Amino acid sequence: MGRGFRWSVAMLVSLGLFADPARAQEVVLDSYAGIGARAMAMGGAYSALSSDFTGLFWNPAGLARASSGEFYTSFSHESFRNQSRFYGSPSTNRLSSSRLNAIGIVAPYPVLQGSLTFGGGYGKTQSLNSGLCIDGYDTAADFEKSGVSEDRGSMGAYVAGGAVDLAPGTSVGVSLQVWRGSNRFEQELTQTDTRDAHGDTVRLYQSLALSDDYKGIRLRAGFLYHHPSGLRFGLMVASPMTMNVSSTFEDSYEDVFEDGTDTYPVERISDTYSIRYPFEFGAAAAWERGRFTLAGDAAYADLQGATYSELPASIAPQVDDFRVEYRSAFRLHLGGEYRLLDDRLALRAGYYRDPVSYKGGGSRPQVRVENDRDVFTFGLGGLLEQTVALDVGMTVGGYRQIEGSREDHVRSVRIFASTGYKF
């Protein structure tokens, strides 16, 4: 058998097997992480309460409730774990990262009546970190198969906006968000013919890397009503957005046969394309009574309405048809807070459900989501000398899904720490 023919057969086998663990979805569409320690300790139920810098991301109208200027910073740490089973063989992938979560300033402008407040800064609200490992015998292809697949990246936005009172207890706000982000996807796959099922083939190796840079601009507007009884109601809407993606792809192959090794040069391709995001809508309510605060948020985006507004010329996009491969994203957030020691200490807890939006289908393997992302949150906050607010929060959650011959059990823990200095 000629080397060229053997290489063609090996490549077809490799590509067919490689599709199982490979990334198939656009990771930026399904990567909610949240922003701010107080907000996330309360399960992200913050759109009716936000009066600090992070309100520019939750509900800009909340800035009108800021009683003083504030300089705000927040940091986060994420720990990701995926326990996978491939044809019954277990493997574990772990990732962790620490990064700036937010930094910004809020400044009220003196007016005769009501409130007029401006703010600006930067915040990261999406984590793109994910991964999996496989190590087992593929009985369908008769290869011992081992590999690792990882995404490492994040999305954030430079933001500026303001809020104004329209009437006592009623405010509106808007923020302009200039989104920037990057992601590095890397994958290695080794297939070994341990049972002599493929003639003189000994081992097939493939590695690939995909680097994506993201840019987009979006407007977010909000409405907030605060009743003297302690009830609050909020509405939010985010405009459609065109996310421009610059991609660089590279891959390499090495095929080992009984009589020699074929090594192929690294192939590099660069290209650009665009993803059109749909509208995102939200509604929120909160109730404050004495030392207690209860809150709830709901956010909805029809990801099936996403489209490619500009297709790449060389690199195939990750999704064939959003209407088939995605389901609409509806997040539910619930949280509560209890204040004590003359409001100098606050205890917080919450919960949110963030459904897994990607479900495959079409030309992609079907994904069966066994459990959606259920996330439990808790934290506390303190106020020092009425000028410095210190907050910490933790979120713990995960999901379980089955894709082809692989089952994933994902667990993610995020820790937030924020400081607000009032002036």
Greatest alpha-carbon pair distance for the chain in Å reads: 89
Residue 247 scores a pLDDT above 50: yes
Quote the distance between the C-alpha of residue 156 and its chain's center: 10
Query: Which residues have a Cβ under 8 Å from the Cβ of 189 and sit 6 or more positions away?
Result: 14, 17, 18, 21, 145, 146, 147, 205, 206, 207
How far is Cα 246 from Cα 273, in angstroms, rounded to an integer? 7
How far is Cα 19 from Cα 304, in angstroms, rounded to an integer? 23
CB 401 within 8 A of CB 365: no
CB 239 within 8 A of CB 215: no
278's tokens: 């749909």
Q: Give CA separation, 21 vs 18, 134, 319, 368, 370, in Å.
A: 6, 8, 15, 15, 18
How far is Cα 69 from Cα 364, in angstroms, rounded to an integer? 51
Angle of CA points 101, 129, 316, to nearest 5° = 120
DSSP helix/strand/coil, 273: strand
Query: Which residues have a Cβ under 8 Å from the Cβ of 342 and sit 6 or more positions away?
Result: none
Q: Which structural domain, as residue segments, surrounds residue 101?
A: 3-422
Give pLDDT tens digits for 142-155. Answer: 999 999 999 999 99
Sign of the C-alpha dihedral, residues 386, 387, 388, 394? positive
pLDDT recorded at residue 4: 41
Total domains in the fold of the chain: 1
User: What beta strand segments (E) does 140-290 contain?
Assistant: 143-167, 170-192, 201-226, 231-238, 241-257, 260-277, 280-289
Per DSSP, what are the bridge partners of residue 32? Answer: 126
Residues 61/64/65/67 CA torsion (nearest 10 deg): 150
| Residue range 216-233: mean pLDDT, rounded | 97
Residue 396 scores a pLDDT above 80: yes
Per the prediction, the chain carries an average pLDDT of 92
Q: At 8, which helix (H) or strand (E)? A: helix 3-18
CB 294 within 8 A of CB 236: no
Give pLDDT tens digits for 257-274. Answer: 999 999 998 989 999 999
| pTM to 2 decimal places | 0.92
CB 143 within 8 A of CB 17: yes
Q: pLDDT band at residue 316, thresholds of 50, 70 and 90? A: confident
How far is Cα 154 from Cα 119, in angstroms, rounded to an integer? 23
Residue 21 scores a pLDDT above 50: no
| Residue range 361-377: mean pLDDT, rounded | 91
| Residue range 328-356: mean pLDDT, rounded | 95
CATH number of the domain that 352 lies in? 2.40.160.60
Give pLDDT tens digits for 111-154. Answer: 988 899 999 999 999 999 999 999 999 999 999 999 999 999 99
pLDDT recorded at residue 23: 63
| Residue range 29-43: mean pLDDT, rounded | 95
